[in-house]
Amino acid sequence: MRILIIGGVAAGSSAAAKLSRLKPDWDLVIYEETEDISYSSCNMPYFIGDLVDDPEQIAPRDPAYFKDHYNTEVYLHHRVEKINPGDKTIQVHNLKEDRTFEDHYDKLLIATGARASIPPIEGVDQANVFSLRKFEDMVSIHNRMTCCMPEGSSVVVIGAGFIGLEMVENFVRLGYPVKLLVSDQVSKLSKELSPYLEAELIRYGVEIIKDARAVKIQGKKVHLKDGRVIDGDFVLLATGIKPNIELAEDIGLKIGSFGAIETNKQMETSIPDIYAAGDVVQTQSLIDGSPIYLPLGSTANKMGRVVADNMAGNKVAFPGIVGTNIFKLFDLEVGSTGLSEAQAKEKGYKTLVYYHIHRSHYASHGGEPILVKAVVDRDKEELLGTEVIGFTGVKNRLDIYASFISFHGNIHDLEYLDTAYAPPFSTVRDVALYTGMIGANLLDKKAPSQEGKIDENFLTYIQNRPSSKLMTPINFS
């Protein structure tokens, strides 16, 4: 049995690794158009920020490793240009030798991921303008920082999604003054939460330029639509991504409402023996079964393993996602899971929305406040989503909420969830249990309504907090 995999990062390499264990005697081949495979994109901002000194820590596996450990042939600099489902072949372009050849598959995985989406700004092809998606982008940015950014140089980041924000932190870590161009708000959280992230950016000296629509980059000047001109020696475009669906479109694979490939739960596309996984596919929401596109490495990795199982004949279903994500912004931990208030309303839910702030754990053990925004379905009394901001302990609360939402937990049950407690980790009633208690009280009208109110002290807390984690090096050992 010959398995061909197009793309060798999270989805493609995890499929190959698992398949090599399930079917050690099958022929496994990965075609990858760049020079790198199986790397940790998520760590790229921290390499640029000099927290990781060796790029090999981010891309520890090469084709020889895949051959030895996963019985997989990896061909770098090979771009797949066409799929012929009729005779089960693909057309491959060896980019180094400029030679094209055909290969045959019994089963094929499209794991072509996504690319940076570059807006129509004049001058984006200038040598001082970059985006960050691939390993080679990371190397180019790092080289530019080393060669051409002497002390006093400045950076402009366009886009305030999680990649833009992680990069802002790392440019500040390198000592550059950073201007962040924001069209509307900072991050994709609910708009009223943006000021908390802005406060953290300001605390670290980042200049936030609002209502900024870049239209032209000329030399070291970024021109905005309203006539403002922003100076910057280096410009990073962090303006979103686009799934690489061209091969799929070419053969008429079903494309979903988010513009990514649609598969069934076995990750099979609309053509037999062709699977797809990772950032190139959309999936379904565990909340209501509707399509959802939240391209993340955590999901791509799981999908790759599901493909391997199904190719090998084990009928395994990828269940879908609730949409859990987290990122770090200087000392803040920021994340969300499930539906935002806006998404829930758009879907027609009758929502209960409330905020609360409670300590991650006891102050005497270093506990700090965590802000939670919760969205509950008033009819079924189920938790639909939370957005969480804090300085410590955000991930474990998000994971509680994600599990609870995945299994359609009733908000009354969250109050009594049997979570772990000791003073260094939590208060006796955990933050997540407060989410349950307050939600239940509001639904049952046992308490005065706190809907729509965020305690202003949280903003003051952020503004006055001493800085701490910025320079912590990452230890991979």
Ligand X SMILES: Cc1cc2nc3c(=O)[nH]c(=O)nc-3n(C[C@H](O)[C@H](O)[C@H](O)COP(=O)(O)OP(=O)(O)OC[C@H]3O[C@@H](n4cnc5c(N)ncnc54)[C@H](O)[C@@H]3O)c2cc1C
Is residue 66 within 8 A of residue 9, CB to CB? The reply is no
244 vs 426, which CB is nearer to ligand X?
Answer: 244
As measured in angstroms, the least distance from the Cβ of 33 to ligand X is: 4
Query: Residues 6 or more apart from 126 whose CB is under 8 A from it?
Result: 217, 219, 235
Site of interaction with ligand X (CB under 6 A)? 6-7, 9-12, 31-34, 41-42, 44-45, 79-80, 111-114, 132-133, 163, 244, 247, 278-279, 295-298, 300
Question: Cα angle at 426 between 423 and 429, to 5 degrees?
Answer: 105
For residue 6, the one-letter residue type is: I
Q: What is the 3-state secondary structure (H, E, C) of 304-319?
A: HHHHHHHHCCCCCCCC
Q: Considering the candidates 42, 118, 224, 443, report the single residue annotated as catalytic.
A: 42
210 vs 242, which CB is nearer to ligand X?
Answer: 242
What's the token pair of residue 329? 């912004």
Distance of CA 391 to the CA centre of its chain: 20
Query: Residues 6 or more apart from 97 whose CB is under 8 A from it?
Result: none
113 vs 323, which CB is nearer to ligand X?
Answer: 113
308 vs 414, which CB is nearer to ligand X?
Answer: 308
44 vs 156, which CB is nearer to ligand X?
Answer: 44
Is residue 209 within 8 A of residue 179, CB to CB? The reply is yes
As measured in angstroms, the least distance from the Cβ of 393 to ligand X is: 18
Q: Which helix (H) or strand (E) holds 248?
A: helix 246-250
Burial (CB count within 10 angstroms: exposed 0-12, middle 13-18, buried 19+), residue 206:
buried
As a whole number of angstroms, the distance between CA 192 and CA 182 comes to: 15
Instruction: Answer yes or no: 42 catalytic.
Output: yes
As measured in angstroms, the least distance from the Cβ of 135 to ligand X is: 8
As measured in angstroms, the least distance from the Cβ of 158 to ligand X is: 15
As measured in angstroms, the least distance from the Cβ of 6 to ligand X is: 5
For residue 195, the one-letter residue type is: P
Residues designated catalytic = 42
